[in-house]
Amino acid sequence: MITVSEALDHLFALVSPLEPETVPLAQAGGRVLVKPAVARRDQPPFDGSAMDGYAVRDEDADPGASLTVIGEAAAGHRFGGSIGPGQTVRIFTGAPVPKGASRVVIQEDVTRNGDQITLGSKLDAKTHIRPAGSDFKIGDSLDAPRRLSPSDVALLASMNIAQVEVTRKPRVALISTGDELVMPGETPSPDQIIASNTFGLKALLDQLGAEPRVLPIARDTRSSLEMAFELAEGADLVVTIGGASVGDHDLVGDVAQDLGMQQAFYKVAMRPGKPLMAGQMGDAAMLGLPGNPVSAMVCGHVFMAPMIRVMLGLPACPAPRQTARLGCDMLKGGPREHYMRAALDDGEIVPEGRQDSSLLSLLAHADVLLVRPAEDPPRQKGDQVEYIAL
Ligand code: AMP
Ligand code: MG
C-alpha cells in the first residue's frame, strides 16, 4: 500500500493545468488568474483630497488665518484655476487638489462667513492629500497564478481591467455507484439510502471553482457502470464513488480497466479512505473514491481538491495543514495515517469520540481533520498536532 504523499504524487502526474479563457470581471471572483494583471492607470490619477474641507497653501495654513474662498472642487469636478496667497478653495473628498494648494484643512477646523473663512486655533499636521499613484501606479501588477478574492476583483476594477484571463473550470463527472442508492428527494425502498457524499463532493467542487456534473446513479452491474462512464465523456476528471473495495459487487476498477483505464495505484495507507484508486482514462483522469460517506469526503479534501488546484494552474501541493494544541490525551496511533474529525475551539483541538467512516453527522459538526501520522506515539494534552481545515 502506498502512502498519502505517494498517492498525491501519482495524482499530480495525472493532471495538468487547463487552458485559459477570458471572462468579464464580474465573473472573475474565485477564478484563477493565469498571468499577471497590469494596472492601466495610476490610482489615484491625481493628488486628491482625503477629507471635506478647504484646500490651502502651506504658507497660509496658520492658526487663526483669514482666507478668501475663490471656488469649489468636488469629486469628479476639479477647480480649474490655481490658489494664490490668501486664497482657498472649498474641497470635498475625492476631488483633485487645486494647483497651488499643498494641504487640506478639515472643515471642522474652519469657520466660514460668506466668502471668508477663518482657520481654527489648532490645526493638525496632516496634509489630508492622497498623492497621485499612492495606491498603485501604471504598470504595477497583481501576480499570477492566483485565485481571485473579492478584494482582488475590486483592485482589478480599480486598475481599469474589464476582463481577465483565467483557467478554464475543470469539468468533473461525479458517478455514484450502488444498488442501494437513490437521489435526495426520491422515495427509497426499505433497503435503500440516499446518495449523500455525491452532493457533498459536488458542493466541494463548486467551492474549488470546478464545474461538477452529477451523473445518474450507476447500479452494481457492468452495463450500468459502462453507461455511466460513457455519460462522463468530455470530463477532465471522472470521480466514481463506491464500488472500489473487494466485495463481489465492487466492479468499478474492473469495468474502468476494461474501458481502458491505466491504473496508477489502488489502496492508500490512510484512515478513512483506504480503497482509493486512480488512473488515466482516455483524456481524463479517473479518481475512484471509497463509498463510505466520510471516507469519500475526506478523500475529496485530501486528494480531489489538490488535483483540481493543479488543473486550475495553482501549485501542486497537499491540502494545507496548520497546527494546534491538543486538548486531550490520545492513545498510540495505528499503522495508517489517520484523518480524524475534530473540534477546534480556542486554539485547542479535540478529536470526536467516534470515528466510524459512515458518520456524516460528526463530519458536519467537525471543524477540522486532525492528521495523525502512521505509527504516531501516544500524545499528551498540550502537544502540537497538525490539522486540515474543513
Ligand atoms: P462501497 O464502497 O460501494 O462498498 O460502499 C461503502 C459504503 O458506502 C456502503 O455502505 C454504501 O452504501 C455507502 N455508499 C456508497 N456510495 C455512497 C454514496 N454516494 N452516498 C452515500 N453512501 C454511499
Ligand atoms: Mg457499493
Atom 14 of ligand 1, residue of closest alpha carbon = 291
**Is the bond leading into 145 cis (omega within 30 degrees of zero)?**
yes
**In CATH, what is the architecture of 48-130?**
Beta Complex (2.170)
Dihedral Cα 330, 334, 336, 339, nearest 10 deg: -20
Atom 12 of ligand 1, residue of closest alpha carbon = 180
Closest by Cα among 255, 146, 238 to 201: 238
Q: Which residues fall within 8 angstroms of residue 148, CB to CB, at 6 or more apart?
A: 28, 29, 30, 31, 32, 33, 156, 164, 166
The grid cell for 353 is 469520540
- One fold for 4-18+169-311 and 322-389: no
Residues making up the chain, counted from first to last: 390
pTM score, whole prediction: 0.94
What is the CATH number that goes with domain 322-389? 2.40.340.10
- Alpha-carbon distance of 260 to 263, in angstroms, equals 9
HSE of 31 in the Cβ direction (CA atoms, 13 Å)?
Answer: 24
HSE of 143 in the Cβ direction (CA atoms, 13 Å)?
Answer: 1
Write down the residue that cell numbers 494546534 correspond to: 324
Residues with CB under 6 A from ligand 1: 176, 178, 180-181, 193, 195-198, 241-245, 247, 250, 290-293
Query: Is CATH 3.20.20.210 the right assignment for the domain spanning 20-43+135-167?
Result: no
- Alpha-carbon distance of 107 to 49, in angstroms, equals 12
For residue 360, the ligand closest to its alpha carbon is: 1
DSSP 222-272: HHHHHHHHHHTTT-SEEEEES--SSSTT--HHHHHHHTT-EEEEE-BSEES
Is 272 within 8 Å of 337 (Cβ atoms)? no
Q: Output b/e per residue, 265-274; b: 16+ Cβ within 10 A.
A: bbbbbbbbbb
What is the CATH number that goes with domain 4-18+169-311? 3.40.980.10
- Alpha-carbon distance of 157 to 171, in angstroms, equals 28
Segments making up each domain of the chain, as ranges: 4-18+169-311, 20-43+135-167, 48-130, 322-389
Task: Output the CA torsion sign for 326, 331, 336, 338.
Answer: negative
| Gap from CA of 129 to ligand 1 centroid (Å) | 64
Is 69 within 8 Å of 117 (Cβ atoms)? yes
For residue 241, the ligand closest to its alpha carbon is: 1
Pocket test for ligand 1, best of 189, 201, 241, 360 (most atoms within 8 A of CB): 241
- Per-residue pLDDT tens listing for the chain (390 residues): 999 999 999 999 999 999 999 999 999 999 999 999 999 999 999 999 999 999 999 999 999 999 999 999 999 999 999 999 999 999 999 999 999 999 999 999 999 999 999 999 999 999 999 999 999 999 999 999 999 999 999 999 999 999 999 999 999 999 999 999 999 999 999 999 999 999 999 999 999 999 999 999 999 999 999 999 999 999 999 999 999 988 888 999 999 999 999 999 999 999 999 999 999 999 999 999 999 999 999 999 999 999 999 999 999 999 999 999 999 999 999 999 999 999 999 999 999 999 999 999 999 999 999 999 999 999 999 999 999 999
| Gap from CA of 304 to ligand 1 centroid (Å) | 18
For residue 242, the ligand closest to its alpha carbon is: 1
Pocket test for ligand 1, best of 181, 198, 248, 359 (most atoms within 8 A of CB): 181
